[in-house]
């Protein structure tokens, strides 16, 4: 057993930290949090340095690393700023992973390299106004018309939708089959295809630089060759993709918690009340000790989930535990960080309130905590204890 | 253009608390973060930029323990082609004269047109390794370099003098240049760079490989020997204004008003 | 009679301060060790300098040659190698300046004499030469001894020793023929270059607000700009700010920048490395704001504020602006 990162992994972590600490300035973080805009320039810079294509093979322009290395980068980015961090790491969300597993060589060659370089951005459109956690039925329908697929429907809460160049869209392709999830398929759709319309969604609680939008599809015609993998396997592909992204969300949560802890610790060392730095009061110092404890355990299970994935031993239960636990830790720790800051913590300029607002999303997206718990209990019932 | 850069792995102390080791001859380094010496960081960037413009290779060399590998990896990740670490128990206690002699023994057998070093190290601040090394190699040098322009057979450099003035010199190649900070904008380490760096081997050489005797290195070979380190005595100490931020700023304003400065 | 050498430093027609600082220290050392103090003056048409230096030393060795008009480590080294081998001074003092650092290490190597650089103190303990140097950016001092030798070379940090006036020594000027016949082969001085000046002359300001590494980010610069404005002063900085390109280099205070003597100098987030201190220590009143109570800047300041600059600076600006209304 070995709990140490390799030299290479440590170097990656440091490189990511150096980049973020210089580029993700507090002012930029505040500015983009307020504007609710995607930091395109920052994204391209990060992509050029390889930070956004960690998991993709070198032959497609990626870095050829695993989920663990990707998590190290994600953690550092969210540690420095949760909003900018999440935005930058999600530019290449899911689409390449789906293509790598099930796409044709032509699809991979076409879509993955420009995503690796940062020229293009993608989005994964699964959720719908009526289907969030439950994707066992899609109201977006793809019908075969000649040698084309014709798609109608709408998608909601889609990360990057307002400016993504490529979308992978989950559609119902068989309306009669029961259970209905056996009739879902994944399609690649390019921006600019007639009938595809996107709108920006404003007013999110947190991760505001990570721009979200809605998709409306009205008689969108795409060639047959845009089907990803096999027909009617989309639901299974989507679940598979979540196995990877949930670990990434756990890493986001660990990073956010770490960033909040560091800010709270620094503040507690400097803030003086009743004549001494508040860290000398156990009411404060014990909080900090507990925050650190929680973060370390969350990190351990996150790394374990990533490691299992990279070993080809992906364990849905461990992944679910990592996501549910780390996201809760992020909520608790960022909350306590505000408490330690007192009144100042409630102000945007002191940053911890933003960490708290951003942390909430980690309990929601890529499967809510409740969905994670379902996975955990199903595994427990199935496999018993060794 | 084949370039050699001499780098040093040093503790970052600008914002850290420093304590003296119980031996009284060094500082405690357990809690300090080590990285490439700030001046060397600029030398590294300059070397890589020159290589990109004029082709050739960059070799990074350091004298240090295994921990210095992280600095060498950084050099490789940022564009150096080769890395050499000179390590031996006997090197401990060497002053910068000895460090230059060790470097000389290795560099004399390597092909190069240019050697770049930082103008000084942030830890001991001798500012002499480069110049001693150049003399041992029998090549010309320039220190405090702010600009480098290689021309046929020589290099044109701007040297930083006091008071913002610079002098422009021509130095015949091969030469050694010791660079100032601010000479360029050091790049970030990329993941592609890390991948390349990890595939490369760091060559490790010992005292025997270098070809010096034990007497010639360490304290016995040095010009200068540390007798003791101490926190500098306070000659004139500022009157520290206390209270909360509000109270302090009020005191500042009152003091200045009293002196007719505002 | 044994000698202590001081290498005179001059540039663009002026003897530099460090020369007189070294002469003061050199005088003290020569008296203690019962040796003669000798100035070594290299240059071209330097009679005026030689005459001035006779007040400060027992003798002035002048090597006058067109090839020595401007400093050049190659030619200087040739001359000094010759002089030191010939006269075997107990000690040669060189300034730890842009000239000195380019010369002393190679000179010592060629002569195989022990060298100590950047010293803030120097003394003989018996035959042992002991120096004090600063390390880790001025946070730690080192007392060190040099390998025993009949002759040593030491570079002294500028603006560290006081250039005391002495009664005129009536030194003797001795002209020596340049001990090299061949031309300069490796290194050629082309010209001096003064980077273009900006619109603000910090040396003329009465109030200077100076900012250092502690400001952390370019986006934070606005808070110090605002303070400078509130004071009706100008904004200056320490080296890291110029290296990062956040302010032009004519705003830099210190050895490689400007020397300033304002009525009020406020150092914000500046640790106080000697290079910076030497450029501002003669200000009438110095206030330092730094989180680190052990920052060397507090040794040079009149008043210190050990607080987070991000809290103090905006509050201070507000206070000043209130006062103006």
> Looking at the DSSP assignment, which residues form a beta bridge with residue B203?
B84
Which pLDDT does position A332 carry in this prediction?
98
**Over the stretch A141-158, which tens digit does the pLDDT of each residue have?**
999 999 999 999 999 999
The count of C-alpha atoms lying within 13 angstroms of the C-alpha of A130, restricted to the half-sphere facing its C-beta, is: 7
Q: Do A64 and B195 lie within an 8 Å CB cutoff?
A: yes
Best to test chain A binding among B17, B188, B190 (most A CBs inside 10 Å): B188
Question: What is the distance between the alpha carbons of residues A118 and A92, in angstroms, rounded to a whole number?
Answer: 9
Whether B235 shows a pLDDT value over 70: the answer reads no
Q: Do C135 and B229 lie within an 8 Å CB cutoff?
A: yes
**CB B104 within 8 Å of CB B228:** no
The reply to whether A54 touches chain B by the CB within 8 Å rule is yes
Q: Do B191 and A18 lie within an 8 Å CB cutoff?
A: no
Residue predicted with more confidence, A60 or C195: A60
Give the distance from residue C211's alpha carbon to the nearest chain B alpha carbon, in angstroms.
Answer: 15
**CB A24 within 8 Å of CB A79:** no
User: Which residue in C141, C91, C98, C104 sits closest to C121, CA to CA?
Assistant: C141
Which pLDDT does position C198 carry in this prediction?
76
Question: Chain C partners of B259 at a C-beta cutoff of 8 Å?
Answer: 285
For the segment A326-339, the average pLDDT, to the nearest whole number, is 98
The reply to whether B17 touches chain C by the CB within 8 Å rule is yes
Which pLDDT does position B51 carry in this prediction?
97
Which pLDDT does position C322 carry in this prediction?
83
Q: Which of A75, A128, A336, A366 is catalytic?
A: A366
Whether A386 shows a pLDDT value over 70: the answer reads no
Which pLDDT does position B258 carry in this prediction?
84
**Over the stretch A110-136, which tens digit does the pLDDT of each residue have?**
999 999 999 999 999 999 999 888 899
**Domain segments of chain C: what residues?**
3-175, 202-324
Q: Do B262 and C323 lie within an 8 Å CB cutoff?
A: yes
**Which has the minimum average pLDDT: A185-189, A308-312, C25-29, C161-165?**
C161-165
**CB C90 within 8 Å of CB C152:** yes
Whether B68 shows a pLDDT value over 70: the answer reads yes
**Over the stretch C143-172, which tens digit does the pLDDT of each residue have?**
999 999 999 999 999 988 988 877 888 999
Give the distance from residue B241's alpha carbon to the nearest chain A alpha carbon, in angstroms.
Answer: 14
Share of chain B above pLDDT 90, in %: 85
**Over the stretch C110-138, which tens digit does the pLDDT of each residue have?**
999 999 999 999 999 988 999 999 999 88
Give the distance from residue C200's alpha carbon to the nearest chain B alpha carbon, in angstroms.
Answer: 14
Q: What one-character DSSP code corresponds to residue A117? A: H
> Looking at the DSSP assignment, which residues form a beta bridge with residue A215?
A155, A198
Alpha carbon dihedral C149, C152, C157, C160, in 10-degree steps, equals: 80
Of the pLDDT bands very low, low, confident and very high (cuts 50, 70, 90), residue C237 is very high
Of the pLDDT bands very low, low, confident and very high (cuts 50, 70, 90), residue C181 is confident
Residue of B nearest to A55 (CA): B191
Tally of residues, chain B: 262
For the segment B106-122, the average pLDDT, to the nearest whole number, is 96
**Domain segments of chain A: what residues?**
7-117, 122-232, 236-383
Domain spanning C3-175: CATH superfamily: HUPs (3.40.50.620)
Q: Do A27 and C220 lie within an 8 Å CB cutoff?
A: yes
Helix and strand counts by DSSP (H, E) for chain C = 8, 17
Of the pLDDT bands very low, low, confident and very high (cuts 50, 70, 90), residue C324 is low
What is the interface size between A and C, counted as CB pairs within 8 Å?
12
Of the pLDDT bands very low, low, confident and very high (cuts 50, 70, 90), residue C274 is confident
Other beta carbons within 10 Å of A145: 10
- Cβ neighbors of B44 (< 8 A, separation 6 or more) are B5, B7, B36, B60, B74, B75, B78, B79, B80, B116, B186
Which pLDDT does position B232 carry in this prediction?
86
Q: What one-character DSSP code corresponds to residue B20? A: B
For the segment A35-53, the average pLDDT, to the nearest whole number, is 97
**Which has the minimum average pLDDT: A68-72, B69-73, C149-153, C275-279?**
C275-279
B-proximal residues of C, 281-310, CB under 8 Å: 285-288, 292-294, 296, 298-307
Q: Which two tokens stand for residue A26?
A: 């507090």
Kindly write down the DSSP assignment for every residue of B167-209, as one continuous string. Answer: EEEEEESSEEEEEPTTSS-PPPPPHHHHHHHHHSPEEEE-HHH
CATH placement of domain A236-383: 1.20.140.10
Out of A12, A53, A272, name the one closest to residue B194 (CB): A12
Whether B186 shows a pLDDT value over 90: the answer reads yes
Q: Do A25 and C218 lie within an 8 Å CB cutoff?
A: yes
The domain defined by A122-232 carries CATH number 2.40.110.10: yes
CATH placement of domain B3-221: 3.40.50.620
Q: Do C117 and B134 lie within an 8 Å CB cutoff?
A: no
The reply to whether C217 touches chain A by the CB within 8 Å rule is yes
Q: What one-character DSSP code corresponds to residue B161? A: -
Give the distance from residue B69's alpha carbon to the nearest chain C alpha carbon, in angstroms.
Answer: 22
Which pLDDT does position B164 carry in this prediction?
82
**Over the stretch B147-172, which tens digit does the pLDDT of each residue have?**
999 999 999 999 999 888 999 999 99
CATH topology of domain A7-117: Butyryl-Coa Dehydrogenase, subunit A; domain 1 (1.10.540)
Residue of A nearest to B66 (CA): A7
Which pLDDT does position B261 carry in this prediction?
83
**Over the stretch A310-321, which tens digit does the pLDDT of each residue have?**
999 999 999 999
Whether C182 shows a pLDDT value over 80: the answer reads no
The reply to whether A27 touches chain C by the CB within 8 Å rule is yes
Q: Which two tokens stand for residue B55?
A: 């082709």
Question: Chain C partners of A27 at a C-beta cutoff of 8 Å?
Answer: 217, 219-220
- Residue A366 bears catalytic tag: yes
Q: Do C217 and A27 lie within an 8 Å CB cutoff?
A: yes
**Over the stretch C202-213, which tens digit does the pLDDT of each residue have?**
988 899 999 999
CATH topology of domain C202-324: Rossmann fold (3.40.50)
Q: Which two tokens stand for residue B225?
A: 């020997």
Of the pLDDT bands very low, low, confident and very high (cuts 50, 70, 90), residue C1 is confident
Give the distance from residue A385's alpha carbon to the nearest chain C alpha carbon, in angstroms.
Answer: 52
**Domain segments of chain B: what residues?**
3-221
Q: Which two tokens stand for residue A150?
A: 């014709």
The reply to whether A15 touches chain B by the CB within 8 Å rule is yes
Highest mean pLDDT among A245-249, A271-275, B162-166: A245-249
Q: What one-character DSSP code corresponds to residue A368? A: -
Whether C75 shows a pLDDT value over 70: the answer reads yes
Q: Do C115 and B97 lie within an 8 Å CB cutoff?
A: yes
């Amino acid at each position: 057993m070995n709990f140490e990162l390799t030299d290479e992994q440590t170097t990656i972590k440091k490189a990511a930290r150096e980049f973020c600490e210089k580029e993700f300035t507090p002012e930029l973080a505040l500015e983009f949090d307020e504007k609710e805009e995607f930091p395109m320039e920052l994204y391209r810079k990060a992509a050029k340095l390889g930070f956004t294509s960690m998991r993709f093979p070198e032959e497609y322009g990626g870095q050829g690393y695993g989920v663990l290395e990707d998590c190290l980068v994600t953690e550092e980015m969210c540690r420095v700023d949760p909003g900018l961090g999440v935005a930058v790491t999600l530019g290449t969300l899911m689409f390449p992973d789906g293509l790598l597993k099930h796409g044709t060589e032509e699809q991979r060659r076409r879509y993955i390299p420009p995503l690796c370089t940062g020229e293009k951005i993608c989005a994964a459109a699964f959720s719908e106004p009526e289907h969030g956690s439950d994707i066992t039925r899609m109201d977006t329908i793809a019908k075969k018309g000649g040698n084309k697929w014709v798609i109608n429907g709408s998608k909601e809460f889609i990360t990057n939708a307002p400016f993504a160049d490529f979308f992978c869209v989950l559609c119902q392709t068989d309306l009669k089959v029961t259970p209905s999830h056996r009739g879902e398929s994944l399609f690649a759709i390019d921006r600019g295809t007639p009938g595809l319309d996107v709108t920006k969604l404003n007013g999110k609680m947190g991760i505001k630089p990570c721009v979200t939008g809605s998709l409306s599809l009205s008689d969108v015609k795409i060639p047959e060759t845009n089907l990803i993998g096999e027909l009617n396997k989309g639901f299974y592909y989507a679940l598979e993709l979540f196995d990877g992204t949930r670990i990434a969300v756990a890493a986001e949560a660990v990073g956010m918690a770490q960033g909040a802890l560091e800010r709270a610790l620094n503040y507690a060392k400097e803030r003086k009340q009743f004549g001494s730095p508040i860290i000398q009061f156990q009411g404060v110092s014990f909080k900090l000790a507990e925050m650190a404890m929680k973060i370390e355990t969350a990190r351990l299970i996150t790394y374990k989930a990533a490691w299992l994935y990279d070993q080809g031993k992906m364990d849905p239960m461990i992944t679910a535990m990592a996501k549910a636990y780390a996201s809760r830790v992020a909520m608790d720790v960022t909350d306590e960080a505000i408490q330690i800051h007192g009144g100042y913590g409630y102000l945007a300029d002191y940053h911890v309130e933003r960490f708290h607002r951003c942390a909430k999303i980690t309990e929601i997206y890529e499967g809510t905590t409740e969905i994670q718990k379902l996975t955990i209990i199903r595994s427990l019932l199935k496999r018993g204890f060794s | 253009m084949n370039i050699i850069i001499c780098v040093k792995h040093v503790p970052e102390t600008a914002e850290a608390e420093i304590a003296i080791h119980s031996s009284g001859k060094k500082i405690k380094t357990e809690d300090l973060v080590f990285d490439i010496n700030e001046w060397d960081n600029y030398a590294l960037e300059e070397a890589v930029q020159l290589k990109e413009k004029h082709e050739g290779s960059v070799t990074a060399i350091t004298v240090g323990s295994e921990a210095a590998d992280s600095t060498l990896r950084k050099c490789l990740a940022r564009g150096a082609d080769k890395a050499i670490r000179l390590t031996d128990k006997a090197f401990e206690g060497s002053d910068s004269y000895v460090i230059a002699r060790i470097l000389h023994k290795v560099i004399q057998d390597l092909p190069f047109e240019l050697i770049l070093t930082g103008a000084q190290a942030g830890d001991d601040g001798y500012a002499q390794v480069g110049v001693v090394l150049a003399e041992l190699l029998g090549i010309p040098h320039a220190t405090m370099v702010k600009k480098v322009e290689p021309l046929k057979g020589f290099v044109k450099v701007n040297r930083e003098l006091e008071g913002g003035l610079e002098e422009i010199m021509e130095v015949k190649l091969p030469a050694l240049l010791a660079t100032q900070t601010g000479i360029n904008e050091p790049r970030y380490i990329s993941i592609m760079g890390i991948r390349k760096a990890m595939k490369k081997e760091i060559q490790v050489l010992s005292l025997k490989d270098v070809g010096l005797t034990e007497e010639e290195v360490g304290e016995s070979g040095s010009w200068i020997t540390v007798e003791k380190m101490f926190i500098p005595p306070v000659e004139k100490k500022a009157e520290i204004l206390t209270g909360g931020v509000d109270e302090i700023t009020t005191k500042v304003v009152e003091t200045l008003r009293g002196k007719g400065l505002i | 009679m044994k000698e202590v050498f001081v290498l005179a430093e001059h540039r663009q027609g002026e003897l530099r301060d460090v020369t007189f600082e070294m002469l003061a220290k050199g005088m003290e050392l020569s008296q203690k060790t019962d040796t003669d103090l000798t100035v070594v003056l290299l240059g071209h048409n330097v009679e005026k300098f030689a005459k001035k230096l006779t007040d400060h030393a027992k003798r002035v060795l002048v090597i006058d040659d067109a090839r020595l008009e401007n400093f050049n480590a190659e030619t200087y080294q040739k001359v000094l190698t010759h002089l030191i081998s010939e006269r075997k001074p107990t000690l040669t003092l060189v300034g730890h300046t842009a000239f000195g650092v380019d010369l002393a290490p190679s000179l010592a190597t060629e002569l195989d004499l022990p060298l100590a650089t950047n010293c803030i103190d120097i003394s003989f303990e018996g035959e042992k030469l002991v120096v004090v140097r600063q390390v880790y950016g001025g946070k730690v001092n080192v007392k060190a001894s040099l390998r025993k030798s009949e002759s040593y070379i030491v570079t002294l940090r500028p603006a560290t020793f006081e250039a005391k006036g002495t009664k005129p020594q009536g030194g003797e000027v001795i002209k020596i023929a340049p001990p090299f016949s061949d031309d300069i082969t490796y290194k050629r001085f082309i010209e001096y270059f003064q980077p273009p000046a900006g619109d603000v002359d910090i040396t003329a300001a009465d109030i200077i607000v100076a900012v250092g590494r502690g400001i952390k980010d370019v986006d934070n610069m606005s808070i110090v700009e605002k303070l400078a404005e509130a004071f009706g002063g100008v904004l200056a900085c320490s080296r890291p700010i110029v290296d990062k390109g956040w302010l032009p280099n004519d705003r830099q205070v210190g050895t490689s920048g400007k020397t300033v003597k304002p009525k009020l100098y406020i150092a914000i987030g500046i640790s106080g490395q000697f290079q910076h201190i030497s450029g501002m220590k003669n200000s009438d009143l110095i206030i330092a704001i730094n989180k680190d109570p052990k920052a060397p800047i507090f040794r040079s300041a009149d008043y210190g504020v050990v607080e987070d600059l991000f809290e103090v600076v905006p509050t201070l600006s507000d206070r000043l602006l209130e006062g103006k209304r």
